[in-house]
Each structure stands twice: as C-alpha cells, then as structure tokens.
C-alpha cells in the first residue's frame, strides 16, 4: 500500500461541498441543494435493539467470549463482562469503575459468597429473570443484598411476605432485620403480632433470646384476648428451659400488664408462679394496689396500666341525628385497623336516648321517636345479636343521662333527668337486673336535660345540661349508700348538650353550648376535668371543633369523642385524648355525620382471634 493510499480524506464541510457537487455549479445552488436534501432526513429507532443486544451479550456470556473478568466463589469460576455487571449492580459498579485494585484484576475471589446464588444473580444481570424457591430464597436475598441488586432484593422480600406463617414469622423477622430489609421486617412483625396466639405454639417462639422475647412482649399490638394470654406465653418460654431462664423472670414480668389481670388471677396464678422471686414481689404488689385503691390509680399510672390495643374492645356509635334527621343504624370502630364499619340497626328509631353496657348486653333506654317521648327499653345481646324488650321506665324521658354503677353482672342502671315532652325532669330511676324492674330513687336538687352523666368511684354524677331557662354550670353527685344528691363545684362554663366521661379518677366534660341550642354559634371546643378529691375543675386542651351533642366513651384508658353538631352540620370527626401530652388527635372519621349518638365500648369479638 502506498503512502497516499494509507491517508484518509478529511471529512470537512468544504470537502463535502466541493467533492460531492458539480464544481461548475454556483456556490449558492450547492448550498440550496444540500438544504433540500436534509429536509428529507428522519430519526430511526429500532424498538427491539436493546432486547437484541442483550440477547447477543448473553450468548457471549454463555459461550464465554469477550469476557474480561472471572468471579470465583466456593471454588466455582464464573466468567463475565464487567460492563454488564456494573450496569446492574452498584457493588460491581463501585468495584470496576473506582480506584479499587479489583478494577484492574481479571480474576476476583468473593469470600463467604454462595456459589449457586452468585451464578443465579450473574445470570439475572444478563436476562432479568431469576427463580425464587422457598428453600433458597434467603441465601439468594443475602447475596443480592451484598451485591446491591435492589430489584432482586425487593422480589425476594415480596416472596417471603407471601410465605409468612405462625411457624416462621419470627425467623423471617429476625432474618429481615439482619439484612436491613426493614419493610419485610415490619410486615413479619405485624404478622407476628396479629397471629400471636398461634405463634407462641411453635418452636421459633421457644427458641427466642431474652432480648428478642422482651421486644415482643413490649408491644401493645399483640393480638390477645386478655393479658393472661401474654403472661402464660411468657411462662411457657421460661419453663421451656427453666434452669437457664428463671433468672430472667423479673425482667420479663415488668413487661406484663399485671394491674390489668384480675385480682383472683394475680393471687392464684401469678403469685404462685413468681412470688418466690424477690424482684417480682414489688410488681405484684403494684398490681394489687391498683385493684385495692382505685382512687389512687392516677398516681399508679404506667405502661403496665395501659391496655394492649386488642384487649380494649371496640367502639359502637348508635343512632343520633344525621342528615336525614334521625339515624337508627350503628357503626363499629376497630382500634387495631382504625376503621369504622356498619354494624346492626336498632329495633326502632330513637333520638336523645341513653345506652348502657352490662355483661355483653346493650341496653337502650328512652328517647323519642320523632313524634313522642318514650319510656320503652330494649336490650341487644352482643353475642347472639338479637333484640328483646325489657320493662319500661316509670317516666317517659328524652335527653336523659344513663350510667351503670359497678362492673358486676347485676350492676344497677340509672336513668337521670331528661324531658318528658312537657317539663324538664329532676327525677331519677334505677333498673334492677334481678327483679327486672325500675324503681324511683332520690331526685336531683334541680331539673336538667341533655346533661352529662357518668359513674366515678361508686358514685353518680350529673353535669350541666339545661333546665328550661338556661344552660347550667352546676354539678350534682349521687351516693347510692345514702340515696342522696349533693352539689359539687360548678364547671367553669355553662354547658347544655355536654358530653361527660370518667377516666383514671377524674370526670371530663366535653363541648356543649352556652346559648340556646337553636342559635347558630356558641358551641364550645373547650374541655375541663373534675377532680372529686379536691372538688375542682381545670381546663384542658381544646377539641379541634366547637360542638355539642358529642358522643364520648372510654376506650381502654383513653377518651374518644365522636361526632357532634357545630350549629351548621352533623360532624364525622372522631378524636382521642392523650392525657400524658394533653392533646387531642384525630382518628378515622365516621362513615356518616351524626350528633347525639350513644357511644359505648364493647368487648372484642372472640371470633377475630
């Protein structure tokens, strides 16, 4: 070849214009011709190019051609292409494109890496497919985690979530934590909490380390029927290897909510099992004091007195005023899922009625049906979900307050005040479950309707309301042992349509109105608390909306305020009070706006466990 032949012509614009166009044409015509030709240019895209190129590279991988690195693991040699590995794995990208010595090596040994998992993951880099099997997914996940193959990690986690079972959820949770797969860890722990009663029957639970068991017992999300289930599970773990585990008993017992166990269970079971351990005795005594000294419970409050979510039951919102001027339906709130769902319907339409719960029975008292004031009483059996009729009250009442004094199966129900359709009432009557009759007891010192009524420390309190002339600040207390009402310190504000709830030795008055109820405005957002020991009221954090006709109830150890009327509309809003931080936070809203609903806590259905 000559020197001339070895030289390539330069491809400048001038060369193109003089060599490709007739030299005899004027320069302007040459440029015009070029412009015209370029107007026919188009951009071509081969949509199958990437797939074809990837298939060809995979063929080179299979035939071990053009490979520039060999990975060695467990005696297995895997030739591959650096550019392919670096494009899929952040680990290999850092290795081959950085300043590490491996970037210059053609053979790289990966210590403590499973060879079969590595082969499957290298093949995935070329094909985008990988087989997930129950017996190999964990080693595959840990290897993918090392190589930072994020898509494979996600696929393995999704696969493991589908494999969750009471016999393996604890193991998967521990593995996920070790691999820093926190979403999988969260899912496995949630599954463990939900199926705790089944999980404790398997070997994984008995094999837990002390710290792991402690972390589990701390959770308020354990899905149990009673706190007894948690104590018995803890004792099963201890007794599985009692020689080496008994010295952990006091540490673990601190995580059991002993005050929430029955006094009989404390003496007959807990004392027998743990009483001989000196460090356990103060914990048992604390629980005994909780039962013997209810007036001091505010001082004994701790994480052991806060019930687990599954043991606090569910909330029922019953009837009330809605957009069609009277609801006869109920809806149920599940604190575990923070959701409201439709429940049953009442036997008949009622407004401004009262409700009490005794031994899994819902007693609906008085009210009005839209035309007349009622004295009828209905009972709904929460177990059989059937309605039946009880003896009527002596007096027709709407706007009454209803409360139960005591927690036994035959505790009396009191119907307090209200309006009979003609006048405001100061009369009070009591339902006796044994004789199944209503009897008149001592009347209040003043008439009141739409007042708040609650039981606290064996006494009955009637708070605020209306007497026809105005909204009231006054408060009265009934002592059943003397059959006598006495006046207490008045509230800081007048409150008609007030909602009252008792918790941890105090009364709480929520919302209400100061002006006549038919006047827009004047609805209260302020909340105040009464201490019967000092006979004083103090203001607390305000509700998010000023409203009256709130339904309130103690769910577990926290007050929940449901719905209400702000003068313009019936509200969906639901709030819960945190006494530790003195603040209200919102829960899931009602499915329909309602005011004056009766709100009660009912036991958790055992069918959910």
pTM, full prediction: 0.76
For 375, what's the count of Cα atoms within 13 Å in the CB-facing half-sphere? 13
Tell me the CATH number at 60.
3.30.710.10
For residues 299 and 370, state if they share a domain: no
Residue 435: pLDDT over 70: yes
Per-residue model confidence (pLDDT) at position 99 = 80
Domain span holding position 70? 49-163
For residues 553 and 515, state if they share a domain: yes
pLDDT (tens digit, 9 = 90+) per residue, 278-296?
999 999 999 999 888 877 7
Domain membership flag for residue 38: no
For residues 301 and 324, state if they share a domain: no
Look at the chain and report how many structural domains it folds into.
Answer: 3
For residues 290 and 334, state if they share a domain: no
Q: What sign results for the dihedral spanned by CA atoms 45, 47, 52, 54?
A: positive
Domain membership flag for residue 40: no
For residues 295 and 327, state if they share a domain: no
**Structure confidence at residue 60 as a pLDDT band (50, 70, 90):** confident
For residues 463 and 512, state if they share a domain: yes
The domain boundary residue, chosen from 244, 277, 305: 305
User: Which among 466, 468, 475 is positioned nearest to 500, based on CA atoms?
Assistant: 475
pLDDT (tens digit, 9 = 90+) per residue, 483-532?
999 999 999 999 999 999 999 889 999 999 997 666 656 899 999 999 99
- Encode 66-76: b = buried (16+ Cβ within 10 Å), e = exposed: ebebebbbeee
For residues 329 and 264, state if they share a domain: no
Domain membership flag for residue 129: yes
User: Which among 411, 402, 397, 408 is positioned nearest to 369, based on CA atoms?
Assistant: 397
Flag the least confident range among 54-68, 135-149, 391-405, 456-470: 54-68
Domain membership flag for residue 248: yes
Tell me the CATH number at 281.
1.25.40.420
Tell me the CATH number at 462.
2.120.10.80
Task: State both tokens at 144.
Answer: 């993918």
Residue 546: pLDDT over 70: yes
Domain membership flag for residue 189: no
Domain membership flag for residue 20: no
Long-range pairs of 164-173 with CB within 8 A, sequence gap ≥ 24: 164/188, 164/191, 166/195, 166/198, 166/199, 166/201, 166/202, 167/202, 167/203, 167/204, 168/204, 169/195, 169/199, 169/204, 170/199, 170/204, 170/205, 170/208, 170/212, 171/204
Mean pLDDT of the chain: 88
The domain boundary residue, chosen from 305, 326, 344: 305
Per-residue model confidence (pLDDT) at position 38 = 53
d(CA 177, CA 324): 52
Domain membership flag for residue 280: yes
pLDDT (tens digit, 9 = 90+) per residue, 299-314?
778 889 889 998 988 9
């Amino acid at each position: 070849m000559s020197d001339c032949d070895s030289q390539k012509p330069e491809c400048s614009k001038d060369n193109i214009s003089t060599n490709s166009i007739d030299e005899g044409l004027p320069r302007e015509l040459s440029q015009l011709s070029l412009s015209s030709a370029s107007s026919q240019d188009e951009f071509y895209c081969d949509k199958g190019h990437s797939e074809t190129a990837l298939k060809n590279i995979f063929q080179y991988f299979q035939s071990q051609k053009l490979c520039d690195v060999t990975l060695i693991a467990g005696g297995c040699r895997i030739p591959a292409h650096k550019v392919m590995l670096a494009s899929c794995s952040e680990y290999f990208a850092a290795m081959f494109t950085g300043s590490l010595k491996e970037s210059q090596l053609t053979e790289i040994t990966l210590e403590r890496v499973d060879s079969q998992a590595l082969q499957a993951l290298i093949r995935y880099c070329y094909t985008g497919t990988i087989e997930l099997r129950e017996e190999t997914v964990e080693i595959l996940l840990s290897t993918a985690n090392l190589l930072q193959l994020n898509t494979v990690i996600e696929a393995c986690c999704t696969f493991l979530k589908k494999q969750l079972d009471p016999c393996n959820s604890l193991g998967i949770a521990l593995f996920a934590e070790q691999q820093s797969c926190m979403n999988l860890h969260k899912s496995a722990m949630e599954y463990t909490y939900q199926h705790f009663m089944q999980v404790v029957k398997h070997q994984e639970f008995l094999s837990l380390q002390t710290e792991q068991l402690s972390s589990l017992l701390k959770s308020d999300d354990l899905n149990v029927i009673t706190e007894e289930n948690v104590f018995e599970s803890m004792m099963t773990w201890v007794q599985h290897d009692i020689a080496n585990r008994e010295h952990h008993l006091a540490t673990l017992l601190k995580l059991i909510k002993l005050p929430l166990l029955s006094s009989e269970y404390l003496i007959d079971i807990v004392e027998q099992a743990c009483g001989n351990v000196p460090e356990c005795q103060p914990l048992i005594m604390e629980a005994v004091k909780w039962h013997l000294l209810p007036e001091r419970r505010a001082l004994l409050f701790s994480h052991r007195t806060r019930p687990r979510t599954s043991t606090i039951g569910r909330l029922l919102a019953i009837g009330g005023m809605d957009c069609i001027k009277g609801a006869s339906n109920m809806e149920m709130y599940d604190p575990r899922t923070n959701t409201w769902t439709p429940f049953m319907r009442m036997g008949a339409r009622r407004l401004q009625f009262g409700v009490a719960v005794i031994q899994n029975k819902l007693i609906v008292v008085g009210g009005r049906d839209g035309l007349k004031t009622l004295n009828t009483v209905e009972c709904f059996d929460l177990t059989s979900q059937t309605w039946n009729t009880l003896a009527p009250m002596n007096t027709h009442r709407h706007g009454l307050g209803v409360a139960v004094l005591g927690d036994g199966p035959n505790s009396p129900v009191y119907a307090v005040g209200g309006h009979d359709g003609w006048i405001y009432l100061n009369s009070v009557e009591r339902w006796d479950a044994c004789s199944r009759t209503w009897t008149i007891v001592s009347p209040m010192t003043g008439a009141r309707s739409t007042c708040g009524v609650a039981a606290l420390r064996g006494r009955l309190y009637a708070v605020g309301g209306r007497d026809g002339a105005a909204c009231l600040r006054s408060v009265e207390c009934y002592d059943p042992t003397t059959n006598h009402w006495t006046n207490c310190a008045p509230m800081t504000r007048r409150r008609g349509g007030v909602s009252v709830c008792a918790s941890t030795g105090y009364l709480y008055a929520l919302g209400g109105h100061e002006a006549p109820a038919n006047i827009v405005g004047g609805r209260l957002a302020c909340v105040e608390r009464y201490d019967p020991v000092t006979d004083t009221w103090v203001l607390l954090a305000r509700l998010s909306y000023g409203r009256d006709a709130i339904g309130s109830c103690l769910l577990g150890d926290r007050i929940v305020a449901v719905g209400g009327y702000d003068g313009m509309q019936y509200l969906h809003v639901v709030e819960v009070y945190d006494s530790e931080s003195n603040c209200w936070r919102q829960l899931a809203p009602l499915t329909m706006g309602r005011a004056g609903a009766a709100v009660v806590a009912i036991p958790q259905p055992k069918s959910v466990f």
